[in-house]
Chain A
Amino acid sequence: MIMYWVSLLAISILLYVLLDGFDLGIGILFGLTRDEARRHAMWGAVAPIWDGNETWLVVTAVILWGAFPAVYAMLLPAFYLPLVVMLSALILRGVAFEFRYKAERMRWIWDFSFFGGSLVATFVQGMTVGALVEGLPFTNGQYTGGDFGWFSPFAALCGIGLCFGYALLGACWLVRKCDGGVKAAAYRQVPYLSIGLLIFLVIVFSFALAENLQIMHRWIERPYLFIFPAIAALAAIVLAVSVERHRDGLPFYMVALIFLSAFGTLAISFWPYMIPYVITVEEAAAPHSSLAFMFWGEGIFVYPLMVIYTVISYRVFRGKVRATPVH
């Protein structure tokens, strides 16, 4: 039962990162161009799907609370200010979708909140993961780091890294979904973003070695972990080739594969801990009666339906976004 909920939690996080990742990334790229036609096309590539994507954040949060209340109660207050900032960024970005085309003179406000909100939310997410990897100060299961205990150069570095990562994911989505100027521009951006991401990964890795982060020992204990970097490297090669040959469909899946391997690396390096070296999955899990109550309704029935539903809605809107006039 615990394993079932860990798996659903992992799938939800992964779906969130991949799906909201590309639309946050497009938000970041949106701020890098002033060309209205391109902006319009980028907008069209995410507008129909963004809030379905964001649903997975809420799903992640409620599964975490229901199935692993101890971790929920430890992490959320530890990241108090970052979460306030992230939620605000996501809200502003969300309403921008509704108001951009209703505004005339005020449009720049919504453009800015789309770009700024995406950038800030991404940075905070990356920083949060970085802080978890580096290790937060907990004493007897209680966070003791103060208002800014999550901040460190390493965490900030991870925040910047994720901005590159999501932007890359976003660029590949644009390649997949758009034509014309947007696609061409995205193709030009992919190499820079990939190199940026690569440089960041190297820095993070050396930083982790230099700081002798506890989590790095996992790599020595569990050599099979190296399969993930291998997959990522392979995906990176295919990515380079597909960009070179302009295979529109491929790059997105390759970057998704890189994210998947990064996620797998983290998950297995953390295992069996949920917060590294502080609390294990077993310790964090809610009592059996809670897990069973969730399992027999939402677990085996609603959750699979949600996944199927997500797949269907992506299939319905597959193919390139048609160029529509600005309304």
Chain B
Amino acid sequence: MESMALFLSRIQFAFTISFHIIFPTFTIGLAAWLTVLEALHLRTGRSAYRVLFDFWLKIFGVAFGMGVVSGIVVAFQLGMNWSVLSKLSGPIQGPLLSYETFTAFMLEATFFGVLIFGRTRVAPWFYLFSTGMVALGTTFSAFWIMVNNSWMQAPVGYAVEKGIFVPNDWTKINLSPVVWVRFPHMLLAAYLTGAFCVAATGAWYLLRGRFSAEAKIMLRMGLCLAAVLMPIQLFIGHLAGDYVHDYQPPKFAAIEGRWHDEQPASEVLIAIPDEASESNKYAISIPVLGSLIGSMSLDSKEVGLTSFPRQDRPPVLIPFFTFRIMVGCGLIMLAVAFIGSYLSLAGMIDRYRLFLWATFLSFPLPFIATWTGWFTAEVGRQPWAVYGLLRTADAMTPFLTAQAAAISLVIFGIIYTFIFAFGIFYIYRLLRTGLVRPMLKPASAAVPNRPLSLAGEDASVLAEAGE
């Protein structure tokens, strides 16, 4: 049984990190989309690209600011609640996360300033370069975070000295095969999130009969990009499953809902796993498919959960269902992207209102897929904080009281809800205001490194200029 303080700390970490991941997922994709828009504008000179750029830059600004604010707490609570982890793996995780901060500061903050205030002050090619650098910065941030998390999932390149994980091969740590599957998986998730948010916005405007020319561009670009990326994402997702199969067999078994060793193994499509009886209720499964997915063979033996001691097994229910929700979201997104690209390229998307509704309503799917994917990865890693080396229960600050953990959970809960409500309201207001066709003058009195303060300075002006 885990202590109350441990339980509360886990809830708090899950809450703050889940809150945080929304914003980077969105902004990484958006930064790439902005770069594409700016490049297209430079190349074709079409003003629609510029109008779209200016519009999405404002939304990027708000989301970026929320990401920065919510990220700070995450960095601190690793030390506060998980001090044993931060001490033992500090020599590895500390430098990785410091690189994250440093590259983020260097690329994002610096060039972000140029995006906001530099339109009239720098050459067009430099403006495009700055946009690309912001996108690169967000990508680097994601890279370091994925290296860090992948090291926790499958530790490599270390030696244990006096109980502390000392890095002895940074190349192995940074270039581990696990990183190079999970980093693209996350990156594509971010791009798909951006693509779906853009397409959904286009659908929304088209449904309301506003900005139809730009709305169609958004729909076409968003859906076609998604149609290309979605199949790649499914393939990389499969590779990510392979690493789990090879490095974390209990997690794989939990995801598959496989309680006993099977040869050849069947694939449980849906069921209700029951930990007490170590079996599935109401299972629908397909014979042999489990071996095929796990080992690409028709008769391989696949390991079941009961082959592992109870104390080394992850909880089953959460990874089992979150994985299926993730895949389900992916399949729906694939369908929307394929149908939408066809309709869009055929030039008849505005006649299918029902499909426009579907596209509009699909914008939460990539977020849900990202969340559930992370839940699968993180809950499935339990009971370990660093896989096979340090248990979550042992990673916690030993003297942390339930009282302190409860106070912090409540305070962070209130504050995050508060800023989230305002941030979302704010993004909604920008979306409702819509695109502004005439050029805007950039704000004058501000400096570059102010990610939080971009959007909405001209909101009232925009409202009048909108259609």
Chain A residues at the B interface, C-beta cutoff of 8 Å: 44, 47-49, 51-52, 55, 57-59, 61-63, 65-67, 69-70, 72-77, 80-81, 83-85, 87-88, 90-92, 94-95, 97-99, 102, 142-144, 146-147, 286-287, 289-290, 293-294, 297-298, 302-303, 305-306, 309, 313, 316-317, 322, 324, 327
- Tell me the smallest distance from the CB of B444 to a CB of chain A, in Å: 9
Within 8 Å CB of B94, what residues of A? Answer: 62, 65-67, 69, 72, 286, 290
Whole-angstrom distance between the alpha carbons of A98 and B45 in the complex? 34
Whether a CB of chain A sits under 8 angstroms from the CB of B339 is: no
**Candidates A67, A98, A102, A293; contact of B167 at CB < 8 Å:** A293
Q: Which of B90-115 contact A (CB under 8 A)?
A: 90-95, 97-103, 105-106, 109-110
Say whether A324 contacts B445, CB under 8 Å. Answer: yes
Say whether A317 contacts B447, CB under 8 Å. Answer: yes
Whether a CB of chain A sits under 8 angstroms from the CB of B306 is: no
Say whether B95 contacts A84, CB under 8 Å. Answer: no
**Candidates B76, B80, B101, B426; contact of A59 at CB < 8 Å:** B101
Within 8 Å CB of A327, what residues of B? Answer: 457
Within 8 Å CB of A62, what residues of B? Answer: 75, 94, 97-98, 100-102
- Tell me the smallest distance from the CB of A326 to a CB of chain B, in Å: 13
Whole-angstrom distance between the alpha carbons of A142 and B397 in the complex? 10
In the complex where A98-B65, A287-B166, A309-B110 touch, is A80 in contact with B422 (Cβ < 8 A)?
no
Whether a CB of chain A sits under 8 angstroms from the CB of B446 is: yes
Say whether A59 contacts B105, CB under 8 Å. Answer: yes
Whole-angstrom distance between the alpha carbons of A102 and B457 in the complex? 8
Whole-angstrom distance between the alpha carbons of A57 and B408 in the complex? 20
Whether a CB of chain A sits under 8 angstroms from the CB of B404 is: yes
In the complex where A70-B87, A77-B83 touch, is A52 in contact with B76 (Cβ < 8 A)?
no
Whole-angstrom distance between the alpha carbons of A44 and B453 in the complex? 13
Whether a CB of chain A sits under 8 angstroms from the CB of B170 is: yes
Say whether A48 contacts B445, CB under 8 Å. Answer: yes
Whether a CB of chain A sits under 8 angstroms from the CB of B400 is: yes
Within 8 Å CB of B448, what residues of A? Answer: 313
Say whether A58 contacts B101, CB under 8 Å. Answer: yes
Interface on chain A toward B: helix, strand, loop, or mixed SS? helix
Count: A-B pairs, CB below 8 Å: 192
| Known A63-B98, A70-B87, A80-B397; 18 more pairs at CB < 8 Å | A52-B109, A62-B101, A62-B102, A69-B87, A72-B79, A73-B86, A77-B83, A77-B399, A84-B407, A85-B411, A87-B76, A88-B415, A91-B69, A91-B72, A95-B422, A95-B452, A294-B95, A302-B103
Say whether A66 contacts B447, CB under 8 Å. Answer: no
Whole-angstrom distance between the alpha carbons of A69 and B167 in the complex? 13
Within 8 Å CB of B167, what residues of A? Answer: 287, 289-290, 293
- Tell me the smallest distance from the CB of B363 to a CB of chain A, in Å: 24
Nearest residue in B to A98 (C-beta to C-beta)?
Answer: B452
Whether a CB of chain A sits under 8 angstroms from the CB of B168 is: yes
Say whether B80 contacts A143, CB under 8 Å. Answer: no
Whole-angstrom distance between the alpha carbons of A313 and B112 in the complex? 13
Within 8 Å CB of B400, what residues of A? Answer: 77, 80
Whole-angstrom distance between the alpha carbons of A144 and B401 in the complex? 12
Q: Which 4 A-B pairs have the closest CB atoms?
A: A69-B90, A76-B79, A73-B87, A66-B94
Say whether A74 contacts B422, CB under 8 Å. Answer: no
